[in-house]
Structure 1
Amino acid sequence: MKNKRAFIVMAVAVLFGLAAVVSASRWLLNQPGGANGRIVVAAADISLGQRLTPEMFKLAEWPTDSVPKGAFTDPQKLDGRVLKTNILIGEPVVETRLAPQGTQGGLSAMITEGRRALTVRVNDVIGVAGFALPGNYVDIIVSMQKDPAPASNGREQAISKIVLERILVLAVAQEVNRDETRPKVVNAVTLEVTPEQAEKLDLARSVGTLSLALRNQVDPQSAQTDGATKLTLLPDAVAPPAPPPKHVSKSTPKPAARAPVVVKTAAPVRRDCVSVLNGLRMTQECF
């Protein structure tokens, strides 16, 4: 009797187990995205500007429902293309990270269409102590002598002014690697500018001294300034300008001139005189 009961309990347990397995299998088969595909990923770290070869990549399993847009499935299609950004090992390669077909390798592949690359000379101070790295944004400040104003007696005035804002740093010296976060003091910085900005930057470096101001990469705000001069820098230490000479208005009547004072003298009165001889003394009597 005991063996019969144990057999029945075991049979019921097996039936329930089979039912659970069948239910789990059906649930898994009904879930979407269960299949995997194969896409091209980087076999090693690849720096931007490099010309690609099929040996730099490999095929890797990737969920079908999360394949990146523009991904490649054949490494041969990447032969001769140029990267615009760095790619780490295991990352998929997509079309947006590649320069257009026919682009040669190097810095020219990193320049946005319609823009130019211009290099300016810097030092450890102008280059923000080496913190102006590729991928950062800077403002360009020029310090120069301003043309004299009409009321300045022909004297030039020193001024510092931001002439360009949010300029992308493409390279420092001959390096374009954007993964470096340590400061590096160099003597030249290459900037990405529009043709109009290139003209302003070239003129600014020829008429004055340039400085770079490092800015936040996600800050799009524009700084509207009038520039700094000696008057705005130390307003209390500069003597006030001499007042302009007073000009007599044409509408103001001039004071009348005073007539000269003439002093009249009385005309002498004509009198009749006779001489009187008295002995040895002679006198004159007038009437």
Structure 2
Amino acid sequence: MSSRVTMGLAGLLLLGAVFFGYWGLVLSRQPEPPASVQVPPPTVIAQATNSAEDQTRQPVVVLTRDVPPFVALSAADLRLEKLRTAPAGSLSDINQALGRKPWRQLNAGTWLNEQSFDSGGALARMIRSNERALAVAVDEVIGAAGQLSPGDYVDVLLFLRQDTSNPQQSAQIAVPAMRVLAVGEQLGLTNDGEPASPALSNEEKLKQDQRRIAARTVVLAVPEQLLSRMMLATQVGVLRLAVRSSEEQRLAQYWAGTKSASGHLDVANSNLFQFTQLALSGAPRSQVAQPNGAPRAAVEVIRGNQITQQSP
């Protein structure tokens, strides 16, 4: 009996040895952990991204601080910025601006082009060579209820009251198709399509719009040949500014020296009524019918500042 117990115990021990031996073999064959992937630090990733972006960006010369007029630019005033889209005509090399003198105040952050060094202020850069900028006093009625904006086109209407020097009251278009350059302090665009005034914050824009509505002056681009007429119109009668439709696409060429410009001037002259002192060429004389029905020219009689038409 004891031998059988002994053999049973021996068998159990053998089975336990086999089991634990197999278990140890399985544990010894577990897969090795995968090799760790080395991730580059964030700074390396950022440098690689910036390098890729730099290849698609374009350099633009920008001012680092406010620059007064007539002072040569130094290296401390300039820096290169990489932009996705470079403004048209902008300088791309600091050497292009180094030592040059702007003719007007330039603010920090302004990107430079050749117009940055042209002479003249904002208004001078908003008109053509055959135009003059003329300020006109307005109120809420004259200025289209305060809704005028730079870039609008207006007809200048003139009303003449009846008095001793003007026997018949009249209303007429003194000068048509005038471009509005500025309303109060708000300026429009220069001839190269850029804003004449520096960029403003949203709060500053809101304040500027409020001042525009209450503005008491409007600056118009007046053709040189109509400047005297416009000046006289502001002195002899009551003005109104009639806004023209934005659908008139050819207004920009109305007085721009095209072949039709002289025709527009003739039409403006012929439309003058009881306002001969403003016509560039004398207004056509009125005609008086003769007994036989044929028209007979009247004689223009001038007494001091009075002009009358009398039959011969």
Normalised by the size of structure 1, how large is the TM-score?
0.48
Task: Identify the structure with the greater helix proportion.
Answer: 2
> Which structure has the bigger radius of gyration?
1
